[in-house]
Amino acid sequence: MIDNRALLVIDVQNDFCPGGRLAVAGGDGVVPVVNALAAGFNHVLLTQDWHPADHSSFASQHEGAQPFSTVTMPYGPQTLWPDHCVIGSAGAAFHPGLEVSRAELIIRKGFRKAIDSYSAFFENDRKTPTGLAGYLQERGLTRLTLVGLAFDYCVRYSAEDAKALGFSVTVIERATRAIDLDGSADATRRSFSERDIVLA
């Protein structure tokens, strides 16, 4: 029998953990939980935020702009972030405690200067694909479990896109942490409920 389950580990990187440039409160707390969950999967996939130093989603690239403010990009509203996960930097590296040796694929996202990428499946224009959907479909991996950082941004967008693409989707909340910007964590829970995304 083909094992059609995959664990998708979203952005467990130094810059999203305490001490990082865009730290999620308690972000490093997901690491032992993710490692324990991964031991129960034959297929483990990772995503990695991977930005050029002059990425357009960085507040530093917009004169007078403050981090966490919003601007309008050609593809729609964009939150401006502190510089983070710059290509090749220590902040972009996976958390040193994360078990990565069994990962079958690493999807890097956000490497195009002009567009941000929260989802593991599409960039923020909602139409430029990362290639992950095709990889999963070709391998027959149809049941996805999502964990990682942050619950209300990259995990949320990835889960919603996976569901829209026809995958079975479960998010393990104890293996995530939220930024919770303006109530975004509760909004994520409501969205999952509306879309029949399982929150376990």
Which range has the worst mean pLDDT, 43-47, 77-81, 88-92, 171-175? 77-81
3-class SS of residue 58: strand
Per residue in 49-106, pLDDT tens?
999 999 999 999 999 999 999 999 999 999 999 999 999 999 999 999 999 999 999 9
Residue range 37-48: mean pLDDT, rounded: 97
Residues in the chain: 200
Active-site residue set: 11, 109, 154
pTM of the model: 0.95
Is the pLDDT confidence value at 198 over 90? yes
Is the pLDDT confidence value at 19 over 70? yes
C-alpha distance from residue 190 to each of 8, 171, 199 (Å): 21, 13, 10
Q: 5-10 and 44-49 as β-strands: parallel, antiparallel, unpaired?
A: parallel
Question: Average pLDDT, whole number, for the chain?
Answer: 96
Is the previous residue joined to 39 through a cis bond, with omega within 30 degrees of 0?
A: no
Cα 131 to Cα 113: distance, rounded to the nearest angstrom: 18
pLDDT grade for 1, boundaries at 50, 70 and 90: low
Is the previous residue joined to 23 through a cis bond, with omega within 30 degrees of 0?
A: no
